[in-house]
Amino acid sequence: MFVLSEFRLAVIQLQVTGVKADNLSRARRLVKEAAGQGSRLVLLPECFNSPYGTSFFSTYAERIPGESTQVLSEAARENQVYLVGGSIPEEDDGKLYNSCTVFGPNGELILKHRKIHLFDIDIPGKIRFQESEILSPGNSLSMFDTAFCKVGVGICYDMRFAELAQLYSRKGCQLLVYPGAFNMTTGPAHWELLQRGRALDNQVYIATASPARDETASYVAWGHTARVIVIKPFFPDLQYLAGVRQQIPITAQRRDDLYTVTSVQEGSS
């Protein structure tokens, strides 16, 4: 496989409203703009086609393939990019999921990742959110190969689970992408810290995209879309990453005789 050492990745902090058609056309326009600036991989935020909230999921839910994924497929093909389509509420067989679809430069669906860890938190006086009241969890890891590098996919709360990132890293991923939508409580506390932690521990690049902050929304996203890396911002540079892994060889130094992280299932859900 031909692997480019350095490539441009775009993370889109999309303004998301209650009008699905507007969200889709805005996303499409921004994917085109990102590709026009040389991006080869583009990332949209969690719930890019609908407001984020348990009261919205069933109204905005679609089957896959459906209206929103059709737009994503066309946007990927027209612009010849890998497109990580944030997430959408998905309906399948009477159940709802929070699902990320990834399309290749020919517009083909490469994978579907259903959020594995549902966002159920209760911080008194601050925020209570229970995705599991409405959604079902996915049960699979999701990775894909590009012409540049291998990519692992998680959605928002998935980022809090260090084991998932460890597994992706062990399975050869150099970049982990997390469409996300942290909020005004957890965002300032953990959004950047988690990304830096996942990147540093696993010697991988991390990219996240959030909806733009909208103070009038029922769930106010923190924003702060990031193209993080512990290492060197903006362009994922795989040669540089290989250098870091060689200089600080924690992968080879792991004590697999004392501990291990294993997966019981994989593939796209």
Ligand X SMILES: NC(=O)CC(=O)C(=O)O
Q: Is 157 in the site for ligand X (CB under 6 A)?
A: yes
**Residue 131: CB minimum distance to ligand X, A:** 7
**Residue 186: CB minimum distance to ligand X, A:** 3
* Axis crossing angle, helix 67-79 with helix 20-36, rounded to the nearest 10: 10
**Binding segment (CB under 6 A) for ligand X, from list 25-33, 66-74, 140-148, 182-190:** 182-190
Q: Which residues contact 175 (CB under 8 A, 6 or more apart)?
A: 9, 149, 150, 151, 152, 204, 205, 206, 207, 236
Nearer to ligand X, 67 or 120 (CB): 120
- SS3 for 218-232 is CCCECCCCEEECCCC
Q: Is 210 in the site for ligand X (CB under 6 A)?
A: no
**Residue 156: CB minimum distance to ligand X, A:** 3
Q: Is 178 in the site for ligand X (CB under 6 A)?
A: no
- Distance, in Å, from the CA atom of 52 to the CA atom of 210, rounded to the nearest integer, reads 11
Pairing of strands 82-84, 120-123: unpaired
Number of other CB atoms surrounding residue 106 within 10 Å: 10
Per-residue string for binding with ligand X, 123-152, x by CB under 6 A? ------------------------------
Q: Which of 150, 160, 198, 227 binds ligand X (CB under 6 A)?
A: 160
Q: Is 99 in the site for ligand X (CB under 6 A)?
A: no
Pairing of strands 109-114, 88-92: unpaired
Total residues contacting ligand X (rule CB under 6 A)?
A: 8
Rule CB under 6 A: which residues touch ligand X?
A: 119, 156-157, 160, 181-183, 186
